[in-house]
Amino acid sequence: MIEHMLDEQKSVLQVRPSGPLREEDFEILARKIDPFIERSGGLRGLLIETADFPGWSDTAAALRHIRFVRNHHRKINKVAIVTDSPMGKVADRLADHFVAAEIRQFPYGERDAALQWLEQT
- Whether 97 has a pLDDT exceeding 50, the answer reads no
Rg of the chain taking only CA atoms, in angstroms: 13
- The CATH number of whichever domain residue 11 belongs to comes to 3.30.750
- Whether 16 has a pLDDT exceeding 90, the answer reads yes
Q: Residue 38's domain spans which residues?
A: 2-119
- Whether 92 has a pLDDT exceeding 80, the answer reads no
33 against 53, higher pLDDT: 33
40 against 93, higher pLDDT: 40
Question: What predicted TM-score, i.e. pTM, was given to this entire model?
Answer: 0.87
**Could you tell me the CA-to-CA distances from 52 to 23, 44, 83, 97, 107 in Å, in that order?**
19, 25, 7, 23, 11
50 against 92, higher pLDDT: 50
Contact (CB, 8 A) for 81 and 48: yes
- Whether 88 has a pLDDT exceeding 60, the answer reads no
| Number of domain units in the chain | 1
What per-residue confidence (pLDDT) applies to 95?
55
